[in-house]
Amino acid sequence: MFNKQKNTLSTESQGVSRRGFLKLGASLGVSAFISTQPLNAIAAMVIDKHVGEVAKWHNCWAHCHSSCLLKIITQDGQIKRIETDDQGDDVFGRHQVRACLRGRSLHKRTFSPDRLKYPMKRVGKRGEGKFKRISWDEALTEVHSQMSKIITEHGNQAIFSRVGYGKPHGPYHYVPRFLNQIGGFLSPSGNYSSHQIDTASLYTYGDKSYTIGSAPTEIAHSDLVVYFGNNPANTRMSGGSDTYHYQESKSQSSARTIIIDPQYTDTACGREDLWLAIRPGTDAALVEAVAWVLINEKYVDEAFLKSHCYGYDAEPGDVSKGIPSLDQSLSYKAYILGKGADGIEKTPEYTAAICGIPKEQIYQMARSLGQAKAPFIAQGWGPQRHAAGEQTARAIYMLPILLGQLGLPGTNNGGSDFLFHKTDIMQMPTGANPVKAKVPCFKWLEAVERGHEMTEFTDGITGADKLTSDVKCVFMYQGNWLLNQHSDCNATAKILADESKLEFIFVMDNHMTASAKYADILLPDITWLENSRIVAFSTHLTKTEHVLDPMYECRHPYEVFADLADKFGIRQQFTQGRSWDDWQRHLYEQSRLNHPQFPPFEVLDKHKTIRIPFDPNEERYTLKEFREDPLTNPLKTESGKIQIYSHKLAKFAATWTLPVGDKISPLPEYTPTWESYADKKQLVEHPLQLIGFKSKGRPHSTFHNVPWLREVIEDALMMNPIDAKDRQLKQGQLVHVYNNRGTIRIPVRITPRIMPGVVAMGEGAWYSPNELGVDVGGCINTLTNLRPTALAKANPQGTNLVEVCGI
């Protein structure tokens, strides 16, 4: 059963059988939601009832941020199976942090056949995936040589790096630490996940932190929940995260629920009172129609809008703050009522044709909001991943603002509804980056071709007026963003393959991903089960154990970067004489200064997993202090109030150089975009709107190489029966999904759970073009657009037009 290679297992021996796994997935659905009793500690190593079995505690570090507990069952140093939290009773707040199917299949990812095993150097054309095995010293010598050459010839700004996970660098903070200590690097502003809603938060509430609003536990005190493109049943589906908190809290309040999404999601799944199937990219238009009803039927909170907000109506100037007066015709109220520049009343009758939502349902939604005593309004991050996503996010913020329903129990500011995390472990210090310029995260590839031309006014460069060099080196540790998670994979692949532009690509990862194939030097990383770190979550504190010794020739990345730092003559500066375990203990002790409830390190080291008291009834709503006293607790906006009209954005609109069709608006207004339902010219050849969604089978592209998960959660194109009938397609048939950027081959899933005119597929599948150039891996980014958005210069990966035909 066991292979000769140390720590490897045959497929049959790695946990339950495939049939058992499929049965488990079917029986659990999203996951098992079982609560727990309070425990001071869980034993570190538990001898199982089966002789010789030992359990070790670990966490799932997937990008859903749920950090669920895993109990790894080993025997004779080998993994037999993975279980999850099984302690306690059924009381919310003491509930089990049970992992979903992804976490429970972690060993399959660890032992995947495409696991990287030793350092390699490219020998074929870049992107062919042809490598030769080399030693660690040869690999690090080559990295040092290539990076030194680029720094000498082009400067450190020619090195671009971003880490694929974490805030800002998750557990991988040693990567920017190393790069900063060799002179710095070009870093990204924003991230692929939330750059547009972060920008909307900045210009509405004065701080990007307001992207995260109230916790879902506040729903217990609400009477109406309104979700725009928010599907925690997929994105955070475990017992430790938002879908569980949503369900538990909603059961306490019996709040009515309105789901606004082109897709009938599992978060709805019979538990909603109203599903509004909306055309992608038109959420802002729906908000305007709702606003028209709220204003005309006297549901808006005029007193709140005057005392806490700027720009709803005419505003006097403020010389001390440099704010000019605002004419009534420029106000939000005037714009909604048709007295603004466009002269259009944003009535439900006018908007219905744009959104695809009957006017009666728009009136129903507006009146439900107006009559609610504590509406909880939240948006996921899907609506902002469109061509005018900043405007969409700003518009959704307007609903609680108009109602004056924020900063109160049971309410939200219109942002995301993550559970508050107040127990983060301090990160390894990264130091200051000597390179001050930052490029918008989605425009790094553009900086390869024309970085020396990119400026603040044309490309959103921050920290400097312009870039001084093209990007010549990409330094990628963990993540599949180089190709797979970027847009237009075919065009991106061509740029990456051009060695005259991009001189060196460094990749360190676990598997031969689509991105890893483009590395010049490719280093094998340890997986989560071979690693250890201290994790603090809202319900538990865990010192994860490395369940396996590093496999093959894989080495801990901290040690690898210490050796690379040695090549640059800065080992002592990088390590400060500490091992990885030394750093973990040091950072934990520093964290205890901020969290006195944390036990001494020795206690945590003994027990491994310790419960943190979690009170579901604790106040977790945002903007409380501002609501109570806006003068004493002003926001960091131009006016100190909630900024409905932004003079800063008006200035950007007047001074930035924008491509034809792009628009920056001082008001949160609906902006028709390219490749949308409003693009009548392109609809002739590509009449379907394509959107992506988070699959239950993987968080982004992680876990795609676990076959069991792909069998439980099949990758398929969701299509409405009406559209399928027009194309004479049958259930499960292989189809080509195509536009001018590429073609995907994928089976079709015909279902009324997607609205007509829209098709959808789970993002994160690995790009794999065949000899004809057709992507048989099913990566949605084969079809997405490289054109960035107007304001944030972010990814528009939900804005696509395609056609579908049977094969």
| pLDDT tens per residue across span 692-720 | 999 888 888 888 999 888 888 889 999 99
Q: Are residues 234 and 179 in the same domain?
A: no
> pLDDT-based confidence at 40, cuts 50/70/90?
very low
DSSP 651-676: HHHHHS---TT----SS------TTS
> pLDDT-based confidence at 240, cuts 50/70/90?
low
Cα 392 to chain centroid distance, Å, stands at 17
Q: How many CB atoms lie within 10 A of CB 27?
A: 8
- Whole-angstrom Cα distance, residue 576 to residue 579? 9
pLDDT for the residue numbered 628:
97
Domain of 382, in residue numbers? 196-419
Sign, CA torsion 577/581/587/592: negative
DSSP state of 318: B
Q: What is the mean pLDDT of residues 505-534?
A: 94
- In this structure, what token pair is assigned to residue 114? 């495409």
pLDDT digits (tens, 9 = 90+) for 280-320: 999 999 999 999 999 999 999 999 999 999 999 999 988 88
pLDDT digits (tens, 9 = 90+) for 140-173: 999 999 999 999 999 999 999 987 665 544 567 8
pLDDT digits (tens, 9 = 90+) for 322-348: 889 999 999 999 999 999 999 999 999
- Whole-angstrom Cα distance, residue 794 to residue 642? 24
> pLDDT-based confidence at 760, cuts 50/70/90?
very high
Residue 228, classed as helix, strand or coil, is: strand
With respect to residue 322, please indicate whether it lies within any of the assigned structural domains: yes
Q: What is the mean pLDDT of residues 189-199?
A: 94
Q: Are residues 288 and 364 in the same domain?
A: yes
**Considering the chain, what is the average pLDDT of its residues?**
89
- Quick check: 401 pLDDT over 50? yes
Task: Count up the domains in the chain and report the number.
Answer: 3
With respect to residue 179, please indicate whether it lies within any of the assigned structural domains: yes
Q: Are residues 492 and 387 in the same domain?
A: no
With respect to residue 660, please indicate whether it lies within any of the assigned structural domains: no
Q: Give the CATH number, domain containing residue 140.
A: 3.40.50.740
- Quick check: 4 pLDDT over 50? no
Which of 49-53, 449-453, 465-469, 605-609 comes out lowest in average pLDDT? Answer: 49-53
pLDDT for the residue numbered 595:
86
pLDDT for the residue numbered 14:
38
Q: Give the CATH number, domain containing residue 320.
A: 3.40.228.10
> pLDDT-based confidence at 8, cuts 50/70/90?
very low
Q: Are residues 261 and 409 in the same domain?
A: yes
Q: Are residues 336 and 227 in the same domain?
A: yes
Q: Give the CATH number, domain containing residue 802.
A: 2.40.40.20
Q: Are residues 372 and 261 in the same domain?
A: yes
With respect to residue 664, please indicate whether it lies within any of the assigned structural domains: no
pLDDT for the residue numbered 18:
43
Sequence-distant (6+) residues with CB within 8 A of 726 are none
With respect to residue 76, please indicate whether it lies within any of the assigned structural domains: no
Spell out a b/e string for 535-545, using b for 16 or more CB atoms within 10 Å of the CB, else e: bbbbbbbbbbb
Q: Are residues 224 and 143 in the same domain?
A: no
Q: Answer for the pair 357, 278: CB distance below 8 angstroms, yes or no.
A: yes
Q: Answer for the pair 33, 88: CB distance below 8 angstroms, yes or no.
A: no
Residues of the chain with pLDDT > 90, as a percent, come to: 69
pLDDT for the residue numbered 15:
40
pLDDT for the residue numbered 5:
36
Q: What is the mean pLDDT of residues 428-436?
A: 94
Pick from 153, 183, 140, 134: nearest CA to 506: 140
pLDDT for the residue numbered 3:
36
Final residue in a domain of this structure, among 519, 544, 576: 576
pLDDT for the residue numbered 207:
96
Q: Are residues 321 and 238 in the same domain?
A: yes
With respect to residue 497, please indicate whether it lies within any of the assigned structural domains: yes
pLDDT for the residue numbered 445:
97
pLDDT digits (tens, 9 = 90+) for 449-486: 999 999 999 999 999 999 999 999 999 998 899 999 99
pLDDT for the residue numbered 28:
36
Q: Which residue has the higher pLDDT, 43 or 586?
A: 586
- In this structure, what token pair is assigned to residue 25? 């997935």
pLDDT for the residue numbered 505:
98
With respect to residue 358, please indicate whether it lies within any of the assigned structural domains: yes
Q: Answer for the pair 183, 568: CB distance below 8 angstroms, yes or no.
A: no
Q: Residue type for 162, please?
A: R
- In this structure, what token pair is assigned to residue 486? 């970027």
With respect to residue 268, please indicate whether it lies within any of the assigned structural domains: yes
Q: Answer for the pair 416, 208: CB distance below 8 angstroms, yes or no.
A: no
Q: What is the mean pLDDT of residues 109-121?
A: 94
Residues of the chain with pLDDT > 70, as a percent, come to: 91
Q: Are residues 148 and 284 in the same domain?
A: no
Q: What is the mean pLDDT of residues 128-137?
A: 97
Q: Are residues 362 and 280 in the same domain?
A: yes
DSSP state of 212: B
Residue 485, classed as helix, strand or coil, is: coil
Q: Are residues 210 and 320 in the same domain?
A: yes
Q: What is the mean pLDDT of residues 634-653?
A: 97
Q: Are residues 227 and 270 in the same domain?
A: yes
